[in-house]
Structure 1
Amino acid sequence: MWELVKAGGWLMTPIVLCSILALVIIIERSHTLQFNKIVPSRLREQLITRLRENGDIGRTQLMNVKEKTPLGDILATGLLYRQYGLESMTMHMQNRASVQIHQLEKNINMLGTIGAIAPLLGLLGTVLGIISSFLAITDGAMQDPTMLAAGVSQALITTAAGMIVAIPALVAYRYFQRRIIDINAQFETQAGLMIQELYDYHLLADSNLADMRQFPSAAVEGAADSAPAMHGEVNAEAAMTS
C-alpha cells in the first residue's frame, strides 16, 4: 500500500487526507443520525398522556425532555409556550426545528465537497503523470524508460485513488441528505399531531379561542340591551311619519 502511495506522487497526500476525513465524517454521522435516537417512538404519546393525567407538566421535566433528543427539544418547547397560544407555540417549535436540522446537517456539506474534489485531484495527478511521461520522450526517441513508467503509474494510481475516495463519499452524502429529509418530515408530523391532540383534549391555552368562546354570550347580552332602545326609535319614526 505504501509503495502505491509513493508511486502516485505528491498528490496522493491530499487524496489520503480526504479519505481519512471522509471516513471520520461517515462514522460520526452514522452514529449521530440514528432514527431512534433523534425521533424516539411514543415520545409524543407519553407527553400527551402525562399532560392529560396531571393537567400540566413541570418546567423541570420539560427541560429534561428537551435535552435528551432533538424531537424532545421541539415538542417540549411547544408545551413550554402553549400557554401563550397557538401562534407563539408554533413559532417557537419551528425555530427549534430549524436549529435541530442545522445541527444534523453538520459536516454533511464537507462530505459532499470531498466527493467533488477527490476525482479532480485524481485527474490532476493523471495530467501530471502524462506530462512526466512525455518528458521521457525526446525527438521521437525514448530517453528514460523509467521516467515513462513512473509517469504512467502516477496517472493511473492517482485516478483510481481519487475515484475510490469520491464514490463512497458521494454515496454517503446522498444517503445522509435523504435521512435528514425523512427526519425533518417526522419532526413536522409529530409536531402537527401534538397540536391536534392538544385541541382534541382541550389542553391548548389559546387566548384567541377563549375570546371566540366568550364573544357569543357578550353579543347576546349586547343585543338584549339594545333591543328596547331600537324598538323605541322605530315607534318614534312611525309616529313622525303618521
Structure 2
Amino acid sequence: MIPLLLLSALALALIVERAWTLRRSAVLPPGLGMEVRSWARRGRLDPAHIDSLRATAPLGALLAAALDVRHRPRDEIRERLEAVGRHLVHRMERYLNTLGTIAAAGPLLGLFGTVVGMIEMFLGIVDHGIGDVNQLAGGIGKALISTAAGMIVAIPALVAHRWFRGRVSEYVVEMEHEAIQLLDAIEPPAAAARGGKGHASAPATSG
C-alpha cells in the first residue's frame, strides 16, 4: 500500500501540473496569431518584437521561428517549423510518459500486494489450520483491498494521460494552422519583391 500511496500522490501532482501548463490560454493565447500576422503586414518584425513573441507561449515560439527565417524559401521555413514543432511537442508532452507508467503500474502493484497477502494467509493456514471461517474471509478481503487501491490509482492516471495526449494533438493541429496562415501573410511581399527584381532585370538583358 505504501508504494500505491506514493504513486497516487505523484499522479495527482503531475495531473495538476499538466492541467495548469496545458491550459489553452497558456499554449494558444487568444488573438496571438492574428496579432503576429498584423505585425508581418505592417513590417513590425524587429528582433525585439520577435524575442518577446518567442517568450509568450508555445504558439509564439513557433511563429517566432518562422519569422526568424522569413526571408528564406518556403521549404526551408517549413523545415524550421517542423524542427521547432517537434521540440515544442516534446515540452508539452513532458511527464505524460510518467503518468502512463503510473496508470500501468498501479494495478500490477495492487495485484502484487494481493498475491503477497494471500500467500501469507495460506501459509498461516498450513501452520495453524483454517480456524475461524469469518477470520479467513476477512483476511481475503484485506488482501483484495490492495488490488482495489491499485485500480483507484490507475484509472484517474489513465484517463488523465489519454486526455492530455488528445489535448496536445489538438494544440499541434491548431498551431500548424496558425503557422500556415503566417506563411501566407509573409509570402506575398517576398514574391512581389522577386517579381520586381525580374522586371527590372529584363530591360538590361534585352539591351
Q: TM-score, normalised by structure 2?
A: 0.87
Q: How does 1:55-134 map to 2 (within 5 A)?
A: 55-134=43-122
Deviations 1:168-219 (A, max 9, x none): 00000000000010011111111111112223xx23479xx8289628964x
SS of the residue corresponding to residue 65 of structure 2 reads helix
Q: Which runs of 5+ in 2 are unaligned?
A: none
1:83/1:205 contact within 8 Å kept: no
Tell me the residue number matched to 2:194: 210
Q: How many residue pairs were aligned? A: 207
Deviations 1:112-148 (A, max 9, x none): 0000010001111111122122123238942587984
2:120 is aligned with 1:136: no
Tell me the residue number matched to 1:167: 155
CA distance in 1, matches of 2:93, 2:5: 24
- Cα distance, 1:35 vs. partner? 1.1
Provide closer, same or farther for how the CA distance between residues 139 and 50 of structure 1 changes in structure 2, counting only shifts above 3 A. closer
SS of the residue corresponding to residue 55 of structure 2 reads helix
Amino acid at match of 2:122: F
1:85/1:204 contact within 8 Å kept: no
CA distance in 1, matches of 2:138, 2:116: 11
CA distance in 1, matches of 2:95, 2:21: 12
- Cα distance, 1:95 vs. partner? 1.5
1:127/1:155 contact within 8 Å kept: yes
Q: Which runs of 5+ in 1 are unaligned?
A: 1-11, 226-242
SS of the residue corresponding to residue 96 of structure 1 reads helix
Specify which structure has the bigger relative contact order, considering alpha-carbon pairs within 8 angstroms and separated by 6 or more residues: 2
Deviations 1:39-85 (A, max 9, x none): 112212111212323x2411011101101111001101211210223
CA distance in 1, matches of 2:194, 2:115: 73
CA distance in 1, matches of 2:127, 2:47: 84
CA distance in 1, matches of 2:196, 2:139: 81
2:26 is aligned with 1:40: no
1:129/1:153 contact within 8 Å kept: no
Provide closer, same or farther for how the CA distance between residues 217 and 58 of structure 1 changes in structure 2, counting only shifts above 3 A. closer
- Cα distance, 1:154 vs. partner? 3.5
1:86/1:204 contact within 8 Å kept: no
Deviates more, 1:159-168 or 1:82-91: 82-91
